[in-house]
């Protein structure tokens, strides 16, 4: 009677050791900032901004985050801030630009 219980306990321990850790699929602040920097470079090229920089990033869930990207211009609007949504797909951080507010 004790043998089946011991086998079940060993099987449970073996399965729990093989399970991947839950924290392995969480987007990090470094991944957020790197994706936002790629978005800033794209915004700079598309809009002709004189310079861009990443303002602030915050994680909204384990797989998603939002950043602000500031663009400076020599003519027209002097400063625009664009919201950038970032999500983790596998091990890659993907970004999508949102609305921009110009001053």
Domain ranges of the chain: 24-102
The conformation of residue 20, written as its DSSP 8-state character, comes to P
CB contact at 8 A, 38 and 69: no
Helix (H) or strand (E) holding 98: strand 92-102
pTM of the model: 0.74
Please give the chain's pLDDT, 103 residues, in tens: 566 666 566 565 655 555 455 555 899 999 999 999 999 999 999 999 999 999 999 999 999 999 999 999 998 779 999 999 999 999 899 999 999 999 8
Which fold would CATH assign to domain 24-102? Answer: Nuclear Transport Factor 2; Chain: A, (3.10.450)
pLDDT for 19: 46
Please name every residue paired with 64 in a beta bridge, in sequence order, or none if there are none: 87
pLDDT for 77: 77
Q: What distance in Å separates the CA atoms of residue 89 and residue 36, rounded to the nearest whole number?
A: 15
CB contact at 8 A, 52 and 71: yes
Residue in the block written with tokens 């901004």: 49
């Amino acid at each position: 009677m004790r043998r089946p219980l011991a086998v079940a306990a060993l099987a449970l321990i073996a399965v729990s050791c093989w399970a991947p850790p839950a924290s392995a699929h969480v987007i990090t602040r470094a991944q957020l900032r790197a994706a936002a920097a790629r978005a800033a470079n794209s915004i700079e090229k598309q809009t002709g901004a004189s310079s861009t920089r990443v303002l602030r990033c915050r994680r909204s869930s384990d797989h998603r985050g939002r950043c602000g990207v500031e663009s400076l211009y020599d003519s027209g609007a002097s400063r625009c801030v664009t919201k950038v949504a970032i999500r983790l797909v596998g091990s890659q951080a993907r970004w999508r630009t949102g609305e921009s507010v110009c001053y």
